[in-house]
Amino acid sequence: MINYKLVFTKVLTLVILFFTTATYAQQIAKYASNRIIAKFKAAVPAAPSNAKASGTGIASLDALNAKFSCSAIEKMLPEIQGTDALHMNNLAILHFSSDQNIPNLVNQYMSTGLFDYVEPDYIGSCDGVEGIDLVANDTYFNSRQWSMQNKGTFSDSPSKSGADIKMVPGWDITTGSANVIIGIIDTGTKLDHPEFSGRIWVNPNEIAGNGVDDDGNGYKDDTNGGWDFTNNDNSPADDNGHGTNVTGILGANGNNSSLYAGVNWKSKLIIVKALDAGGSGSYSNWIKGINYCIAAGARVINMSLGGNNSSQSLQDAITAAYQNQVVCVVAMGNDNTSTPEYPANCTNVLAVGATNSMDQRCNPFSGGSGGSNYGSNIKVCAPGNIIYGLRYNSNTSSSYYYSGTSQATPHAAGLASLLFSQNTSRTAETVMSIIENTADDQVGLSTEDKPGWDQYYGYGRINAYKALTYVATGIDRSAVVGCNSVKIYPNPFTSNLSIAYQLSKPADVKIEIADILGQRINIINKGTLQPDSYIDGWSANDFPSGIYFVTVILNNSEKQSYKVVKN
């Protein structure tokens, strides 16, 4: 919440990603989101020749095509005359009318028994590029957005390589969805800033300029952006600067060769002005703002604000949001104290503390003042010191930054919105749990950042990549206590996977294999084993290529999961 100056540079995105416990590295697969490639079995009656997705005459195929809105079956190759040993004329592209969960489609279509194989339509590139890396190409990404990608070269303060939220590999999984709505309750936003082009929420049920409350939500002509509860009008413009900075951290357009990249590049932004030009606002306006966002269909609400007094009405508004599957992400406060602030001390919120470019709790913030609050209510931390961003009175300014838990909060809110973008059926509880369970623990000073949850860092500093690759396989944050080590190799693998583990005490051992959807596909029950080294294996010859999760479980409680790739 402390205002300073700023810088920023061009960015890139090389995708070598590191997984949980070992030093294995692998490349994230890139593929089209609205089509798959499928090779029909030779015995299947020439279904690819039918360019329509409906009425193929194959009941199981027609049912799947209808379920997933398959719009066309495109034959990839013309009829091949003469002997075709590989039956390549049975190869087809299945097109879908909207983006799909491709790994799920692959599994669903393969399960029909109609195909030799089904696979994503992968995207590649030439192997030679002259002097340019690829990531977000926003002007100041590489030089100033250390919170997203820290190479240890940030010039404004000491920095440590890797002290960031791992946003670059996270973007290779998702950059957001236009179907997800995010509410920002703050001082407003510069609505016409080019970095928010196409992103500001438009009320679909309100007619502009007719002076009528068409949708019956209590606000007339709230067509563009949201509502200004401070001035009671339909123009939530920023007259302070804080809100524009926060909104930019969360949702500035990315990879557009301009200024900065937000965490989320696609979702719609509801702007609620509930703080005045001096940065102050009443709880009643905050509550109105929360209710407004709920009614508009928001899944995430960012609240980079706080007061010193407990309030049941504020808690009730937060509870209503939670019950409507909305994640409220709130700032811990900047006074370097355990004295609670609200709504950070309300239940059912994700309360966020702030870290600096050395992965340490901000104490003090840049400029020598305050510090990130701590206490029993903290859930996670995120970068919040010297966070450059957009300016409320300029479309081109890049020279201002803020520091505070206000800046940490939109990093976490942005991640919550990406998790909803990835799977809109997730609950608020699930999203908060994923963020907590995948946070990087013990990154800060050992005097504060203790193993597991602690009052200074919560569960740790958020990790976007871990969160976006998390599946519900019972992944535990801690290592397997009864194991000295677990090794999974080779990774990637082609047919057989080795699972080596060394028990430190007698234990009942079970190994579970899950697919990318978190569905168990294999269980290896070993029974009770004595302290020793064991090697087990999984033969995956009958399973398609893709991403899988191997979980070693001791005594039905201690768990550790590993991500593997079958080529």
The residues assigned a catalytic role are 186, 242, 406
Q: Does residue 170 contact residue 434 with C-beta atoms inside 8 Å?
A: no
As a whole number of Å, the end-to-end CA separation of the chain is 48
* Residue 49 near residue 75 (C-beta atoms within 8 A): yes
Backbone φ and ψ of 489, nearest 5°: -155, 160
- Show the tokens assigned to 320: 């209503």
Q: How far apart are CA 518 and CA 526, in angstroms?
A: 22
Task: Please confirm whether the linkage preceding 492 is cis (ω < 30° from 0).
Answer: yes
Q: Helix (H) and strand (E) counts for the chain?
A: 10, 23
d(CA 538, CA 352): 40
- Name every residue whose Cβ is closer than 8 Å to that of residue 309 and which is 6 or more positions away in sequence: 283, 342
Q: At what angle do helices 242-251 and 405-422 cross, to 10 degrees?
A: 30
Residue 32 is classified by DSSP as: E
Beta-strand runs (E) in 206-344: 226-228, 268-273, 300-303, 327-331
* DSSP per residue, 65-88: HHHTTEEEEEESSPPPPS--TT-G
Alpha helices in 297-427, H assignment, sequence order:
312-323, 405-422
Specify the pairing of strand 496-503 against strand 483-489.
antiparallel
- Of 378, 157, 182, 143, nearest to 293 by C-alpha is 182
Report yes or no: 236 and 187 within 8 Å, Cβ to Cβ: no
Q: What is the Cα 156 distance to its own chain's centre?
A: 28
Where in 404-519 does DSSP place strands (E)?
483-489, 496-503, 507-515
Upstream peptide bond of 158 is cis (omega within 30 degrees of 0): no
- Residue type at position 298: A
On whether the CB atoms of residues 222 and 296 are closer than 8 A, the answer is no
Any bridge partners for residue 37, and if so which?
A: 93, 119
Task: Look at residue 33 and give its three-state secondary structure.
Answer: strand
Residue at token pair 């980079």: 304
| CA distances in angstroms from 161 to 110, 411, 538, 557, listed in the order given | 43, 18, 36, 34
Cα–Cα distance measured from residue 299 to residue 268, given in angstroms and rounded to the nearest whole number? 11
Q: What is the largest CA-CA distance in the chain?
A: 82
